[in-house]
């Protein structure tokens, strides 16, 4: 009987331990905003449409339990609220960083173990933004109480990676030294990895310290950067063209190649096409024009080609294809489209540009 009691006690202890351990796997977010109306608070990843969970708000209070991503890395979170009258509220937070030398607020924060949001909401809806009085932009009055990851993010200037130039390298390196375990910095470096030289990426990676150096994102970036260092061995990518044939993208018989990345769903990309047509008419004998779609839907791409009727070479590649990483490295591909890159006859990248260009801007781009 004594042995049975001991075994039973041990089992109960193990069950309690397992239960407590499982509970600790969940991160917790508490909220108490005095003037928040009753309604529904939504917790989403990066943007409202990627919902993780929703809870009722009563007397300004709400609580979420959530996990990190599948690799157990922190993810960007955002809060939005819809009250009982259908008013949608975007919720932002005060930061210690700056954007263009002015104070800035962030709607994003990172999934730390424990987060506390308190105070009251300040209406900062710009004039002319409020669609039929159905949406508002709000800022929480008090600083968010979170862990290391959000703190590091909120002490990083909002434009640190928005305009990368010759001064950016040192600023980013100094910020990593200040927060050597910051996933926000690692994510942003990874997102902009083709904007830095391989040696600069190595310098960044060498400064990170702690668990972050064992993360999947750190490992993938290091692996990708090693491939970039071998990029001189890469040949012109071979992709599927609009005729269903696998062909080399670049033609080295031309002095220069203009390659434009676009997609059928990208409004600014479609907006740029008339200007590209005019420039093509002037320069197609000396410059080879190429468009590469990043569409994941080949049918949508084909319909867009039929409508736009672009007279130059057309190719397609997407993030899920085996050719994508080679294309990304070769053309120093940006995360944003339209993305234009100019190469010489030796397939060396001369310059690149993100965003829509006018006819004059395109001419200047290919001539200078």
Residue 89: strand pairing partners: 81, 136
In 3D space, the residue among 181, 232, 227, 231 whose CA is nearest the CA of residue 205 turns out to be: 181
Residue 239 CA to its chain's centroid (Å): 26
| Intra-chain end-to-end CA distance of the chain, in Å | 91
- Residue 13 pLDDT exceeds 60: no
Q: What is the CA radius of gyration of the chain?
A: 25
Q: What is the pLDDT of residue 351?
A: 87
- pLDDT tens digits, residue range 288-307? 999 999 999 999 999 999 99
CATH code of 24-150, in short, is 2.60.40
The pLDDT confidence band at residue 23, using thresholds 50, 70 and 90, is very low
Q: Where are the alpha helices (DSSP H) in 162-285?
A: 168-178, 183-191, 198-207, 216-229, 267-283
DSSP strands (E only) in the chain: 27-33, 39-45, 51-57, 61-66, 76-83, 88-99, 102-106, 108-110, 114-119, 121-123, 135-140, 238-241, 246-248, 256-262, 287-293, 313-316, 339-344, 349-354
**H/E stretch holding 11:** helix 2-24
Architecture of domain 238-367: 3-Layer(aba) Sandwich (3.40)
- The structural domains of the chain, with segments of one domain joined by +, span 24-150, 168-229, 238-367
- pLDDT tens digits, residue range 127-153? 776 566 789 999 999 999 999 999 999
Q: What is the pLDDT of residue 68?
A: 76
**H/E stretch holding 38:** none
Q: What is the pLDDT of residue 131?
A: 60
Q: Does pTM top 0.95 for this prediction?
A: no
The pLDDT confidence band at residue 7, using thresholds 50, 70 and 90, is very low
CB 165 within 8 A of CB 192: no
Higher local confidence (pLDDT), 291 or 47: 291
CB 290 within 8 A of CB 312: yes
- Residue 33 pLDDT exceeds 90: yes
In 3D space, the residue among 269, 286, 264 whose CA is nearest the CA of residue 338 turns out to be: 269
- pLDDT tens digits, residue range 99-137? 988 999 999 999 999 999 999 999 998 877 656 678 999
* Mean pLDDT computed over every residue of the chain: 89
């Amino acid at each position: 009987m004594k042995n049975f009691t001991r075994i039973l006690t041990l089992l109960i202890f193990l069950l309690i331990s397992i239960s407590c351990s499982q509970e600790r796997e969940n991160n917790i977010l508490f909220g108490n905003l005095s003037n928040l109306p009753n309604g529904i608070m939504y917790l989403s990843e990066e943007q409202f449409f990627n919902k993780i969970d929703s809870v009722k708000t009563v007397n300004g209070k709400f609580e979420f339990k959530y996990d990190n991503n599948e690799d157990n890395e922190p993810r960007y979170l955002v809060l939005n609220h819809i009250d009982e009258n259908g008013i949608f509220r975007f919720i932002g937070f005060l930061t210690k960083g700056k954007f263009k030398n002015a104070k800035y607020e962030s709607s994003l924060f990172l999934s730390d173990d424990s987060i506390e949001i308190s105070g009251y909401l300040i209406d900062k809806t710009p004039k002319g933004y409020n669609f039929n009085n159905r949406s508002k932009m709000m800022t929480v009055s008090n600083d968010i109480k979170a862990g290391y990851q959000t703190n590091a993010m909120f002490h990083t200037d909002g434009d640190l990676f928005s305009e990368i130039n010759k001064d950016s390298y040192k600023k980013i390196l100094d910020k990593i030294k200040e927060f050597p375990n910051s996933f926000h910095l690692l994510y942003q470096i990874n997102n902009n990895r083709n904007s830095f030289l391989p040696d600069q990426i190595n310098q960044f990676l060498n400064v990170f310290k702690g668990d972050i150096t064992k993360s999947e994102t750190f490992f993938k970036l290091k692996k990708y950067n090693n491939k970039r260092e071998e990029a001189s061995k890469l040949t012109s990518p071979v992709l599927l063209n609009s005729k269903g044939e696998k062909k080399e993208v670049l033609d080295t018989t031309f002095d220069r190649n203009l390659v434009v990345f676009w997609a059928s769903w990208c409004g600014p990309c479609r907006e740029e096409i008339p200007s590209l047509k005019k420039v093509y008419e002037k320069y197609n004998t000396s410059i080879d024009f190429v468009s590469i779609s990043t569409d994941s839907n080949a049918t949508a791409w084909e319909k867009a080609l039929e409508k736009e009727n672009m007279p130059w070479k057309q190719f397609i590649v997407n993030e899920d294809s085996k050719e994508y990483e080679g294309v990304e490295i070769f053309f120093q591909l940006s995360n944003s489209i339209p993305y234009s890159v100019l190469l010489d006859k030796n397939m060396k990248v001369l310059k690149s540009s993100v965003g829509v260009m006018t006819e004059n801007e395109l001419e200047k781009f290919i001539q200078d």
